[in-house]
A and B are shown apart, each in its own frame.
Chain A
Amino acid sequence: MELEEFKMNDRFSAPNVPEKNVNNANGLGGLIEELKAADQKGKRLVSRFMIIFFVLLGVYAIQIATKNGPLSIGYELLAAGFIFILVYFFRKIILIRRIDYSAPVIIFLRKAEKRYTFITAADWFIIIPILGVIGTGGGYIVYYSFIKYFEDSPWPLVIYIIFFVSVIIFGFWAGKKDWKKENGVILDKIKKSIDENR
């Protein structure tokens, strides 16, 4: 048995395509129309996201400008944190959409593994400072909002920290579960391919 025996074996080759079907509405022509529509939809989605993002940013900036004191610092930090997190997730989604399928197989698999991983080591370097900014902003707001009721008691801040950390842990758990459901199978397939070729 030689591998050559299966070279261009007609059982593996594509059958002839009836010429009349190539350009019909349901064939290639139909696919092209679908692809063009998907391209347009993608562009519209990005434009809508950008418009909503900048409108919200403007509204929030006006709100912050009218506030003074420590509370205003808290709101500013919170707003900055949310903006960073939005930009981060937007970038992550765009990156997955823009996977370069024309890269050599080995390079493609390595890049795809990084993109399909829920949070990579490099991501943590971005996420942790962002969470720090949001947490500090929230801390400012909670502390200076409740200081008049609790005098100098640290309890509001302690309760806030417990709440904040719990939200992060829950968010991480729920996000990972959702990500795994969406991308887990493909990531396992990619990892297997890379491992088998080490």
Chain B
Amino acid sequence: MEKEVLFRQIADENKGRIFRICRYFFQDREDCNDACQEALIRIWQNLSTFRNQSQLSTWIYRVTVNTCLTFIRKDKSRKTLFELSGIRSPENRPDEPIIEENPQEEYKLQFFRRFMEELSPVDRTAVSLYLEELSTRQIADVTGLSESNVRVKIHRLKEKIKIKWKEEQNGTGRIQNE
């Protein structure tokens, strides 16, 4: 019973966090929903490994990221908890600005998604956690990299996105001013 209470609490308080991480890994809405569901299942199965040695958020990030890294979608027809619960992916939100109304932001977002897709899984993990505003120490805890390694990685990734963005602008000329 205690396991159920703890799980319910974790799931309720961290759904947003889990969803965002999955979103960084999967562009496809159904893949993302399935990965979220899978992450919740892994959290249930691994609850006994949480011993307050690390922060609960770090533990959740680890389980979610590891699930995303090894996630293979098996059943395309299965409805997920996120669909059953009425949670909609960001693309389908009714309050979402219409793409045509904000083409520059949409263009940037598409560029960012392509940028993320090109990254190695560990780099993508580092970016996702950085954008989640985790400290260098927390990112190191989640990934198993050293803090200095994380700092170097993030710095390189920041440079990389700048270079890629410049290349993108030179290549297409769609957005002239940053």
Stretch at the interface among A13-21, A118-126, A129-137, A140-148: A13-21
Tell whether A186 pairs with B131 under 8 Å between CB atoms, given A105-B62, A105-B142.
Answer: no
Cα(A27)–Cα(B87), bound, Å: 10
B85 touches A186 (CB 8 A): no
Closest to A189 in B: B70
Question: Is A107 interfacial (CB 8 A cutoff)?
Answer: yes
Question: Is B42 interfacial (CB 8 A cutoff)?
Answer: yes
B121 touches A27 (CB 8 A): no
Within 8 A of A (CB), among B11-42: 11-12, 15-20, 23-24, 37, 40-42
Give, as a whole number of angstroms, the nearest-CB distance from A150 to chain B. 53
Give, as a whole number of angstroms, the nearest-CB distance from A109 to chain B. 7
> What's the tally of chain A residues with a CB closer than 8 Å to chain B?
46
Chain A residues with CB below 8 A from B86, complex form = 17-18, 21, 27
Tell whether A3 pairs with B127 under 8 Å between CB atoms, given A27-B81, A105-B62.
Answer: yes
Question: Is A185 interfacial (CB 8 A cutoff)?
Answer: yes
Closest to B161 in A: A3
Cα(A102)–Cα(B23), bound, Å: 19
Tell whether A11 pairs with B109 under 8 Å between CB atoms, given A3-B131, A193-B121.
Answer: yes
Chain B residues with CB below 8 A from A14, complex form = 15-20, 87
A106 touches B87 (CB 8 A): no
At the interface, is chain B mostly helix, strand, loop or mixed?
helix
What is the 8 Å Cβ interface bit string for chain A, positions 1-41, against chain B (1 contact, 0 not)? 11101111111111101100110101110111001100000
B49 touches A35 (CB 8 A): no
> What's the tally of chain B residues with a CB closer than 8 Å to chain A?
67
Cα(A115)–Cα(B121), bound, Å: 19
Tell whether A186 pairs with B70 under 8 Å between CB atoms, given A3-B161, A35-B41.
Answer: yes
Count chain B CB atoms within 10 A of each CB in A5, A31, A102, A190 and give the residue with the most: A102
Cα(A40)–Cα(B24), bound, Å: 34
Count chain A CB atoms within 10 A of each CB in B7, B86, B109 and give the residue with the most: B86
Question: Is B101 interfacial (CB 8 A cutoff)?
Answer: no
A103 touches B66 (CB 8 A): yes
What is the 8 Å Cβ interface bit string for chain B, positions 65-98, against chain A (1 contact, 0 not)? 1110110100000000100111111100100100
Cα(A32)–Cα(B7), bound, Å: 8
Closest to B160 in A: A3
Cα(A145)–Cα(B145), bound, Å: 61
The 3 closest A-B pairs by CB, nearest first: A104-B144, A196-B120, A1-B165
Given contact pairs A21-B85, A35-B7, A105-B144, a sample of 6 additional A-B residue pairs in the complex whose CB atoms are under 8 Å apart: A3-B157, A3-B161, A11-B90, A11-B96, A15-B89, A17-B15
Give A residues with C-beta under 8 Å from B.
Answer: 1-3, 5-15, 17-18, 21-22, 24, 26-28, 30-32, 35-36, 100-109, 112, 185-186, 189-190, 192-193, 196-197
Residue pairs across A and B with Cβ atoms less than 8 A apart, 13 shown, are A1-B108, A1-B178, A10-B90, A21-B87, A27-B85, A28-B81, A28-B85, A105-B66, A105-B69, A105-B142, A105-B144, A108-B66, A189-B69
